[in-house]
Amino acid sequence: MEVNIRSVLKQSLLKLNPRHQLRNPVMFCVYVGSCLTTALFIQALIDNGEAPPRFIFCITLSLWFTVLFSNFAESMAEGRGKAQAQALRQTRQETPAKKLKAPDRTAGFTVIPSTDLRQNDWVLVESGDFIPSDGEVLHGIATVNESAITGESAPVIRESGGDRTAVTGGTQVISDWLIIRITANPGETFLDHMITLVEGAKRQKTPNEIALAILLAALTLIFLCVCVSLLPFSLYSVSHNANGQAISITVLVALFVCLAPTTIGGLLSAIGIAGMDRLIQANVIAMSGHAVEAAGDIDILLLDKTGTITMGNRQAIDLIPASGVAVETLADAAQLASLADETPEGHSIVVLTKEKYGLRGRELANMSATFIPFTAETRMSGANVGNRQIRKGAIDAITAHIKQSGGTFPPSVQQHVEHIARQGGTPLIVAEGNQVLGVVHLKDVVKGGIRDRFAQLRKMGIKTIMITGDNPLTAAAIALEAGVDDFIASANPEQKLQLIRKLQNEGHLVAMTGDGTNDAPALAQADVALAMNSGTQAAKEAGNLLDLDSNPTKLIEIVDIGKQLLMTRGTLTTFSLANDIAKYFAILPAAFAATYPALQSLNIMKLHTPHSALLSAVIFNAITIVALIPFALRGIRYRHASASTLLRIHLGLYGIGGVIVPFIGIKALDMLITWLRIV
């Protein structure tokens, strides 16, 4: 989303409101110091000031820029969220709703505005209609275009009685019909909630962010007390020695701003907002900021097999003919029966017969064929070609079809069916008339590249555990192929819950994915719970993260974002505190050289004058905030390595670098200020 820079600059100025500045104790102190030096500058213009007016003016200008740069960083982060929210608002529209008198398509309906719908109302949505509000499918099956929410143009299936019952207001039904029970009142829909989250208007600070803010406030209070106490010490020394010059209030303000953790204090809010923004860009909605931070610290990841580790859409890998049937005959019938099957399984059968058996280039127009599409109700597809009645489908559906036609199910085919089932595959039966021709072996294929991704998680110190309801033999084969660290087979919802509790009692942080009602207890128990947008309402309510793309493997990206958020906050804090070491050598000798001439020996940077040294340090402090804004918004690049390795890298880069850079920067600014004769 493109951010309006003019709007960002305007918001930066509006954030100068004292009530807003109070939210950040560190920057509020800088704000008060800016106001104080402004008053001292005006006083110096009217009467003899405590310092040269030009010096006070330069210090004041630098302090105000420090505050404005901090506001700019926060406004820039918020601006990206507001741009996304505006795009979402454009998708929200008042649509007519067909409110039913009863949850039955024949019950009759009245057309009302979608804003008049309330929770537990029933609505009928037909092909071409927009879904008026969030809800759950009670009856029907349909394809839905959710591109307004997910950004993906490919339609998805929504149906009753499974784990894909949830629908979102503003999406459009492309085919068939649905009866929906409304689950949200106006203003409480998922889209409304999403707009609020991306705008950041009600963003709650995470526990780590709050803890760091308290630490920064405590450090600020300490430096404030130190700086305030220096004035009477300075006055006493000058009076006692009858020599030297007392430190000025302008110098004390400059000293405080440079010693306080203003860099990280100015960027802290922007880091948190930008972290949540990166999550939204990944099409994930965080119900709590704690979940994002916890994702960065998890050490065990529980994953379901189907749809997570495997493709979920089963693929045809083999054809097994019945006794006395040629495999070519089976392939021909399987392909004809699958031409009207729009499911991924049906497409895979057509591809298999083309590639393995060379069945290509059929002249369908000359065949006088009638194709029967696959439906969820019949669980079959087929074709009538002349006198041939070819069917393909689930075992129970084809068995019933054979019996109606006066045929019997051969025992040899039954053995093939059982063998495929024991291997963890899915058998589909192909029949012509009342004769069974054979079996199609469907297998849930492991996703490409998933093994490498699990290897990355292993480098990150995260153990992966696959949980499946499959038998142990099938689970072991899939686990070995996928490269997970461990697996649990024949697992039920209660066992999942007990496992999570056991791992948590051992001190582990556990993440889990789920989309069904039976996953809700385990999702509620997990530290990081990723629910699928396509799943049930119970699962979505139990999760603390919601994936709009309904891609369970996205938890890996969420872990990256969580770690990146923690690393960005930690490294910039390290850099900010390391900066102070160089500032000590720049400011302290300059501030107290007139009072304590012996401190001049600490001027190892050979800065020209006390005033140029102080001004250089204050300007460098402001410039540092500007320079770090891209890092705060983009985040520190995360490398898949162990925690100890990352710690060494970042301590070296941002710790030692944070000490060295100010020496160079302040010295360069001092030379420039001296050359320009600014003070």
> Is 304 known to be catalytic?
yes
Supply φ then ψ for residue 139, to 5 degrees. Answer: -145, 150
Using a 10 angstrom Cβ sphere, with 0-12 exposed, 13-18 middle and 19 or more buried, the burial of residue 198 is buried
Q: Looking at 121, 129, 134, 304, which residue is catalytic?
A: 304
Residue among 360, 112, 86 at smallest CA distance from 198: 86
Residue among 222, 264, 221 at smallest CA distance from 621: 264
Cβ(565)–Cβ(275) below 8 Å: yes
Distance between CA atoms of 78 and 105, rounded to whole angstroms?
45
- The b/e string for 356-385 (b: 16+ C-beta within 10 A; e otherwise) is ebebeeeeeeeeebebbebeeeeebbbbeb
Cβ(88)–Cβ(152) below 8 Å: no
Sheet holding 510-514, edge to edge: 284-286, 545-547, 528-532, 510-514, 300-304, 463-467, 486-488
Cβ(517)–Cβ(533) below 8 Å: no
Strand-pairing partners, residue 140, are: 178
- Residues making up the chain, counted from first to last: 679
C-alpha distance across the termini of the chain, in Å: 44
Strand-pairing partners, residue 372, are: 382
DSSP state of 517: G
Distance between CA atoms of 629 and 6, rounded to whole angstroms?
17
**Element (DSSP H or E) covering residue 445:** none
Residue among 595, 578, 602 at smallest CA distance from 657: 578
Distance between CA atoms of 166 and 138, rounded to whole angstroms?
10
Distance between CA atoms of 430 and 380, rounded to whole angstroms?
10
Cβ(174)–Cβ(547) below 8 Å: no
DSSP state of 126: E
Q: Residue 257 region, left (φ>0) first, then alpha (ψ -120 to 50), else beta?
A: alpha
* Vertex 173 angle, CA 170 and 175, to 5°: 170
Query: What HEC string does 617-674 produce?
Result: HHHHHHHHHHHHHHHHHHCCCCCCCCHHHHHHHHHHHHHHHHHHHHHHHHHHHHHHHH
The owner of tokens 């500045």 is 21
| 3-class state of residue 105 by DSSP | coil
DSSP state of 146: -
Lookup: tokens for 413? 């085919």
Residues labelled as active-site residues: 304
